[in-house]
Every structure is written in structure tokens, then in C-alpha cells.
Structure 1
Amino acid sequence: MMTSKLWYIFATTSILMTVIKANAVVESDSAAAPDWIGIWSTDTKCNKLACCCLFDQITTSAVANETKLRIIGQVDGIGICRSNLIVFSEVNMPKDFKMPFDLFGFSLSLSLSEDSKVISAINPKDSQCNTIATRLHSAANRIEVLFSAVLLSSFVGMKTYF
């Protein structure tokens, strides 16, 4: 009986160490490489009376074996953007923290912060058309939740075992 308890403690400790190591890898990788994938909330500073503005939520996801970045969101503002269109665009997956983006004929520069928590959509011709999007959710967050669930179930199992 004692041997099975020791084995259970060893197994639970091994799972815990794996979770800690994997969590550290996720955190260190997300700080080093750009993470464009997630759900973002935009600010309201873009002037819809003079610009074509991204607004509300933006969703970015990896497609085509992670070679493309799909961008889905809403726009509002002047010209074609007045119709509250849905943006559905696929671009090459950015390898760094900046990328050009065409929003219905309006050229933007998308810049991702070094911590991958903020996207700045900058219109080089008119600063009143700039938008800031803050990360709400990311793929890394889902991984951390999964690891937390594994960890919690291990401790609950250990408590009921003893």
C-alpha cells in the first residue's frame, strides 16, 4: 500500500514539473516571438467621420498550415466603410512585429507590441485614423488554462487517494 502511495506522489510531482516547464516555455516563447493570433478589442479613438476605422472586436487566426494570418473584424467610417462591413482578409503570417495592411484602400501599418498584447493600426497619412487593439484572448491563454486543469485534477485526485 505504501509503495502505491509513493508512486502516486511521484507521478503527481512529475505532472506538476511538466506543467511548470511547459508553462515556462509558453511564457518565454510568447515574449520572444510575435504572437499575432488572438481576439482583440479596439479603442474608440479612430475618427469615423474622416476615416475607415476598425472597431469593436478583431479576431486573428492562423490558417493554411500557419502560413497565413486571417483577420476578421468590423469597420465603420467614410466611403465603403460606412456600410459597417466585415473585414475578412488573409495575409502572409508576419514573422516580426510589423506588417502592412490594406483596409479597403486605406494603407495601414500594423505594429504588434513586444509583449504581443497590443496591436497599433497606424495610418501614416492621418493620425486621427489610428486604432489601438488590446488582446482579450490568445492561444497561449488556452494552453495555460489546460495546464491549470491538469494540475487541479492531479491535486484533487491526490487528496481523495489519501
Structure 2
Amino acid sequence: MNTLTILLLATAVVSCIARPSDMPNWLGTFTLDDSCNQAECCCLTQQATISKIRDTQLLITANVAGAPCREQLNGSTTISVAIPIPQDKGGYQITTNFLGTNNRFTLNSDSQYIANVNVQFPKCSGSAQRSVSNWVGTFNVDDSCNQNECCCLSDKVTITKISDTQLLVSARAVGQTCPSELNGSVEIPIPIPQDKNGFQTTVNFLGSMNRFTLTYDNQYIANANLQSPKCSGMARRA
């Protein structure tokens, strides 16, 4: 085998290895802009989530707003619409009927943006940017957790990343049921959230199951204590 043949084979192998990272990724949660004209169109708004429901279809779940929505969707403010998995432009584009009109959806090369062109009514077009969760930071905790019956996080909570798989929650802990060994503070590792595209996790926290949900703008964390709802709370990024 000569040097040229070896070089060509090596190039082909590297190309095959690199190719998966270049594949289109439509799945995830996207934040929508406000370019769609709600006075004349039924528009997707706020966030849209795209999931895979079978090998041939994606499901778009989103909020909707706009004057025509009331008649078109019988007053519903959310939609769940199945579309074929895109095949055009190497999987980065699809033209399909969506909410009653033909729309062309185009994913950009790094899978971070989706441009939606309404082919029949351009004023009903829009775009969306991928939402990426960011749990790391300092958050101000509200006082909705009942300290007379719960062990509550208080004042501020700081979340740091301690490994590729774990976050560390550090905070003051106050309340009638806090164990004395806590000495008024906690440092609790939790897995990096994976649910809801990284915006939610359900874990054992201070002895009970809690569901933590980060808003798509990364500004708020809602904590629902699934065993004792009165021990739930909310935090806002400082």
C-alpha cells in the first residue's frame, strides 16, 4: 500500500468520525422572536420545543398568540403539531404545511437557529434561537417555604459546577425541621439536570423528593417539594 493510498484512507476515516458532529440537530427548546405579526397571524410565541416521536416524525409543541388563533384553534393557546423529519439541504430544511399554510423551516449550520418563512404569508414568518440552560450562579430565595414546618433554603443560594455530571447547591438552611448537624447551612451535590432538555430535574434534596425547574430565560428556579408542597419555593437570579 503506497503513501498516497494510506493518506486517502486516513482522510476518509477522519471524515467519517467528524461527520456526526456536523449532523443537524432539530431537537430541543427554542426561544422565539416577535417578528411574526400577531395582528394578522396565528404565531408561535415565547418557547417552542421539538421532540422526536418516531423515526420519521418530529413534534413541535409551542405557545401560540395572535388574532386568528381564536378561530383557527378554538381559543387554544398551545399547539402540538407533527411534521416529517427534515430531508432537504442535507436535513437542515423542510417545507411543510403548518397551521394551515406552507412554511419553510431552515436550521442553521450549527443547529442554534431556526428560520421560519411562511411561503404564503411572509408577514407570518419568524425565527427562533436555541435555549441553553444555565444553572450556575447566585439566586435570591423567596419566603414561600414554610419555615415553621419545613427545612427551607433562605436568603441566597449559589450553584456551582463541580464536575461534568454534578452541580453543588450551597445555601443557608433555616426552619423547625432542619437537622442540628446542618449548622444553618448546606452544600448538596445534585446531578446536572437532563429533563426538559436540561431545564428540569427531580432529586432527593434535604430528605424529600423535589422537582427543580429553571425558566427558559435562566432567571428563575421553581422548587416543587413533591412530598410536602408547603415546603416549595422560588428563587430569582441575583
CA RMSD of aligned residues (A): 2.7
Runs of 4+ residues deviating >6 angstroms: none
Query: What is the match of residue 130 of structure 1?
Result: 125
Query: What is the match of residue 66 of structure 2?
Result: 77
Letter in 2 for 1:44: D
**2: CA distance, partners of 1:81 / 1:131:** 19
Following superposition, the deviation at residue 50 of structure 1 comes to: 1.2
- Distance change in 2, residues 1:75/1:102 (3 Å): farther
The match for 1:113 among 88, 100, 108 is: 108
Contact kept? 1:71, 1:88, Cα under 8 Å = yes
- Report sequence identity in percent: 26
Could you tell me the TM-score, scaled by structure 2's length?
Answer: 0.43
Following superposition, the deviation at residue 78 of structure 1 comes to: 3.3
SS in 2 for 1:110: strand
Letter in 2 for 1:149: T
Following superposition, the deviation at residue 87 of structure 1 comes to: 1.5
Following superposition, the deviation at residue 126 of structure 1 comes to: 3.0
Contact kept? 1:55, 1:76, Cα under 8 Å = yes
1:47 paired to 2:42 = no
The structure with more radius of gyration = 2
Larger relative contact order, structure 1 or 2 (CA cutoff 8 Å, min sep 6): 1
Higher fraction of helix = 1
**2: CA distance, partners of 1:106 / 1:54:** 14
Letter in 1 for 2:109: E
Following superposition, the deviation at residue 33 of structure 1 comes to: 1.2
Query: What is the match of residue 104 of structure 1?
Result: 99
Contact kept? 1:49, 1:77, Cα under 8 Å = yes
**2: CA distance, partners of 1:137 / 1:82:** 32
- Distance change in 2, residues 1:90/1:126 (3 Å): closer
Following superposition, the deviation at residue 84 of structure 1 comes to: 4.6
Which stretches in structure 1 are left out of the alignment for 5+ residues?
A: 1-24, 139-144, 151-162
Contact kept? 2:101, 2:120, Cα under 8 Å = no
SS in 1 for 2:119: coil
Following superposition, the deviation at residue 103 of structure 1 comes to: 2.9
SS in 1 for 2:164: helix
The match for 1:89 among 77, 81, 92 is: 81
- Distance change in 2, residues 1:137/1:101 (3 Å): farther
Which stretches in structure 2 are left out of the alignment for 5+ residues?
A: 1-16, 134-160, 167-238
Contact kept? 1:76, 1:84, Cα under 8 Å = no
Following superposition, the deviation at residue 82 of structure 1 comes to: 8.1
Could you tell me the TM-score, scaled by structure 1's length?
Answer: 0.61
Query: What is the match of residue 67 of structure 1?
Result: 56
Count residues in correspondence: 116
Higher fraction of strand = 2
